[in-house]
Every structure is written in structure tokens, then in C-alpha cells.
């Protein structure tokens, strides 16, 4: 037992020394998914999608883009992924943290993208999912804000930024929209958050893009 203890101590010392020299490193994620409850639920419903593909999920329920920007360096930059997938904006439209303009939302998304590119991380910007109304908001709010139209306008801005700034754009809106700026009823229990099966559709759209960006 004494010899075994000595051996373990020696191995630990060697590993520590190698780590200090940078010879032992954590596996670099292929992608980090940054988002809100829609992203968080994705991990809950389909954990294998992330573990089997070397993806990391950093979705936090209820967050707006300004909160994501604050934690972007910790939750994305420090992990040094090859790709970051940003799916954000619906909680801004819902005014979870108060009123913000479309320009302010887009500035936050663009700042996250700029940070990633400065650290040689490829950027995938996703359209905000369709939502005709937010059930946690009163009817008067939904009439005034018109979430479907507001999201459609934001998506136009995200798509334009992506095309002009060397980012990939993934359109979830078109296949998930009911044609009236809301989400298809069969895809969501509340018109905002997808059912578990709806994520299969999203995975079919996002996976080829990530794989292409990760290919040398």
C-alpha cells in the first residue's frame, strides 16, 4: 500500500506539471450554444445531441441578450470552442428586463459575434423562433408589441448582419412558422417553447452548418 501511495503521488505530480506546461488540455468543444430557456430545454430534452457531438449548452432560462453578453466571455470565450451558436432575442421582445429597442438587441448580438470572431471562434446566428404572443404577458401587452411582427423585424436585422459580417445564419423561423407570424401549434405547448420532438427539426438544420465550420 505504501508503494501504491507513492506511485499515485508521483503520477499526480507529473500530471500537474504537464498541465502547468500546457501539455494536458481539456477537449475543445466543437460548439457552444448560447441562449435562453429554448436553448436550455434543448439540453434537457436531447442531452445526447450535445454529449455525442462535443457540444456545450449554455442556455439560461429567462435571459435577454444583455445578460448573455455579460457572461459571454466566461461561458463561451474561456471554453475556446470552434463555433458558437447564438439563439437569442425573444425575451428582449417580451421585455423580460424592460423595454429595449431593436437596435439595442442587435447591438448585443453583434457584440457577442464580434467577441467570438476576435478569438477565432466561428459564429452561427439563428433566427428567433416565431411567437404570436407571450402567455406570461397580458393581452394588452401582446396587442401593443405584436410579438410576431417584432420578431420578424429582428430576424431581418440578424440575417443582414450575418451576411455582411462573415457569420452563418440559420433560419428556424420559416419551417416553424404557422404563416401568421406564430409558431405551428403542433410544435409548441405555449407558442414560444418547442416540444421535445420539434428540436429534431432544429438539429437537422443546425448540425450540417456546425460540421462544415469545424472541417479544416
pLDDT digits (tens, 9 = 90+) for 139-173: 999 999 999 999 999 999 999 999 999 999 999 99
Question: Residue 117 has what pLDDT?
Answer: 98
Share of the chain above pLDDT 90, in %: 87
**Which string of DSSP letters, residue by residue, matches 65-108?**
HHHHHHHHHHHTGGG--SEEEEE--HHHHTTBTB---HHHHHHH
Q: Which of 94, 38, 107, 87 is nearest to 206 (CA)?
A: 87
pLDDT at 7 over 70: no
Domains of the chain (ranges plus CATH)? Answer: 26-214 (3.40.50.1110)
CA distance 172 to 197: 14
CA distance 186 to 191: 9
List, for residues 50-77, the tens digit of each pLDDT value. Answer: 999 999 999 999 999 999 999 999 999 9
* pLDDT classification of 9: cutoffs 50, 70, 90: very low
Q: How many CB atoms lie within 10 A of CB 212?
A: 11
Q: Which of 93, 87, 92 is nearest to 112 (CA)?
A: 87
Q: How many CB atoms lie within 10 A of CB 99?
A: 8
pLDDT at 3 over 50: no
Residue given cell 428567433 in the structure block: 128
Q: Please enumerate in sequence order all residues whose Cβ is within 8 A of that of 15, keeping only pairs 6 or more positions apart, or say none.
A: 24
Amino acid at each position: 500500500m505504501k508503494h501504491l501511495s507513492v506511485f499515485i503521488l508521483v503520477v499526480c505530480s507529473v500530471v500537474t506539471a504537464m498541465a502547468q506546461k500546457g501539455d494536458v488540455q481539456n477537449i475543445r468543444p466543437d460548439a457552444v450554444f448560447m441562449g435562453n430557456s429554448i436553448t436550455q430545454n434543448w439540453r434537457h430534452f436531447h442531452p445526447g445531441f450535445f454529449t455525442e457531438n462535443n457540444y456545450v449548452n449554455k442556455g439560461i432560462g429567462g435571459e435577454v441578450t444583455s445578460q448573455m453578453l455579460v457572461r459571454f466571455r466566461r461561458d463561451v470565450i474561456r471554453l475556446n470552442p470552434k463555433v458558437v451558436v447564438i439563439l437569442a432575442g425573444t425575451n428582449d421582445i417580451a421585455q423580460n428586463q424592460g423595454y429595449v429597442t431593436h437596435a439595442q438587441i442587435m447591438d448585443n448580438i453583434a457584440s457577442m459575434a464580434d467577441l467570438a470572431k476576435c478569438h477565432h471562434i466561428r459564429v452561427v446566428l439563428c433566427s428567433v423562433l416565431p411567437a404570436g404572443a407571450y402567455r406570461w404577458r397580458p393581452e394588452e401587452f401582446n396587442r401593443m408589441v405584436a410579438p410576431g411582427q417584432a420578431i420578424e423585424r429582428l430576424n431581418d436585422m440578424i440575417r443582414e448582419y450575418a451576411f455582411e459580417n462573415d457569420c452563418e445564419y440559420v433560419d428556424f423561423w420559416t419551417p416553424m412558422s404557422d404563416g401568421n407570424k406564430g409558431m405551428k401549434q403542433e410544435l409548441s405547448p405555449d407558442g414560444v417553447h418547442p416540444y421535445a420532438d420539434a428540436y429534431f427539426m432544429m438539429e437537422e438544420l443546425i448540425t450540417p452548418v456546425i460540421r462544415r465550420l469545424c472541417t479544416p
